[in-house]
Amino acid sequence: MLKTLIEAYLEAGEPVGSRLLAKRYPEALSSATIRNVLAELEDERLVSQPHASAGRVPTERAYRYYVDRWLNAGGGSSRPTTADPRLEGALRGLDLDPEAWARQAGRVLSEVLQGVCLALPIGLTQSRLARLEFVSLPPGRAVAVWVGAAGEVEHRILDVPSDLNPAQLVELGNFASERFRGLTLPELQGRLLAELQSGVEEGRLLAARLQQMAAKWTAAEDQAGAPVLVSGVGQLGHLPEFEDVERFRGMVAAFEEQELLARLLNAFAEQARSEVKLILGSENPYLADFPLATLVRTVRLGPAGFVTFALVGPLRMDYPRAMAGLDWLGQELDRRRG
């Protein structure tokens, strides 16, 4: 009955009463039975009643149960074989640079899936090392070239210690490529730090030098970080959940905080590489003050790197449709790259 109640509420946006449940539920149940079940669901904090004469609405806990039990656990609703054909528009412009493509793809996702879309082109936080090269650029500088396992290529111009000659830079790249293949840049830095602290002598000087270079790369990465691209904030203002003007203004202000949004996307980017990651309401440490659902999906663009998308909407979100749309985007990009 909980599934029926949630889906009825998702469609209508109105508290669901026993009469509507009796009509929609596949089995014939008496009004007394339905009332008893609703009371049990309320005791379990899965539904609430806005006021005494109203029907019930799902709680955040109910939405989590719904997604985990009926969408993610083989229920099939969230993985249809086809998606909204309008999502094809999100694939246009793949030959553009990642930021330009992410901007236009975010607009399409926002319009079609009905929510605020955040997009963050990301570099080495997700790329896994296949090969690292350092090419000397006199005086005292070098080009660091990171080649990822998916063929993506990132480069940065870095200042280098004056006592590092071209041959030593080549040796440094070979050392990293052999010893740290398959790691992301943050993982590589963590491994280097652990090795240096352990006192292991093998390759200690090279590891220390590489740690210096990795720190410089991270600093350059942070300084040149791409902005979070935001589309569709105005759409939420038309929903009943955000009729309170002050609450809506507070939410708009949150969507203007680039650092906050970047932390949100980076925090869940890795978990969202193979499937959609759902964060509900209070589960989201970055937007916990608002009754929002956030769906995150990281997609790979091949040599151009990665883009992490987040679709943000009210808890009364069309979860099957939204999750399917983001999954479709990731799978379609994999297929085209393929």
Which tens digit of pLDDT belongs to each residue from 285-313?
999 888 899 999 999 887 667 899 999 99
Check which CATH number belongs to the domain holding 280 and give it: 3.30.450.40
Mean per-residue pLDDT for 7-26?
Answer: 86
Higher-pLDDT residue of 7, 128 = 7
Report yes or no on 65 lying in a domain: no
- d(CA 154, CA 146) in angstroms, rounded, equals 5
Ranges 44-48, 85-89, 223-227, 237-241: which has the least confidence: 223-227
Mean pLDDT lowest for which of 30-44, 127-141, 267-281, 307-321? Answer: 127-141
* pTM for the structure as a whole: 0.72
What is the arithmetic mean of pLDDT over 38-50? 92
pLDDT at position 276 over 80: yes
322 falls in which pLDDT band (50, 70, 90)?
very high
On whether both 42 and 164 belong to a single domain, the answer is no
- Rounded mean pLDDT of 157-166? 78
Please identify, among 11, 40, 58, the residue that sits at the C-terminal boundary of a domain. Answer: 58
Residue 41 pLDDT grade (very low, low, confident, very high; cuts 50, 70, 90): very high
Both 136 and 215 in one domain: the answer is yes
Instruction: For 282-334, give the DSSP string.
Output: GG-TTSTTS-EEEEEEEEE-GGG-EEEEEEEEESS--HHHHHHHHHHHHHHHH
- Range with lowest mean pLDDT among 49-53, 106-110, 181-185, 320-324: 49-53
Task: Compute φ and ψ for 265, nearest 5 degrees.
Answer: -65, -40
286 shares its domain with 332: yes
Same domain assignment for residues 263 and 290: yes
Average pLDDT for residues 263-287, to the nearest whole number? 91
Same domain? For 256 and 177 the reply is no
pLDDT band at 80 (very low <50, low <70, confident <90, very high): very low
Asked which of 167, 200, 223 is the last residue of a domain, the reply is 223
CATH number at residue 30: 1.10.10.10
Biggest CA-to-CA distance, the chain: 85
Same domain for 254 and 326, yes or no, is: yes
User: Looking at 36-40, 156-160, 260-264, 294-298, which range is the least confident one?
Assistant: 156-160
| Residues near 15 by beta carbon (within 8 Å), at least 6 away in sequence | 9, 49, 50, 54, 55, 56, 57
Tens digits of per-residue pLDDT, 140-158?
A: 788 888 887 766 667 777 8
**Full domain range(s) for residue 198:** 129-223
**What is the band of 77 on the pLDDT scale with cuts at 50, 70, 90?**
very low
Tell me how many domains the chain contains.
3
Residue that terminates a domain, selected from 169, 190, 223 = 223
Query: Does 76 fall in a domain?
Result: no
Q: How confident is the model at residue 179 (pLDDT cuts 50, 70, 90)?
A: confident
- Mean pLDDT score across all residues of the chain: 83
pLDDT of residue 67: 92
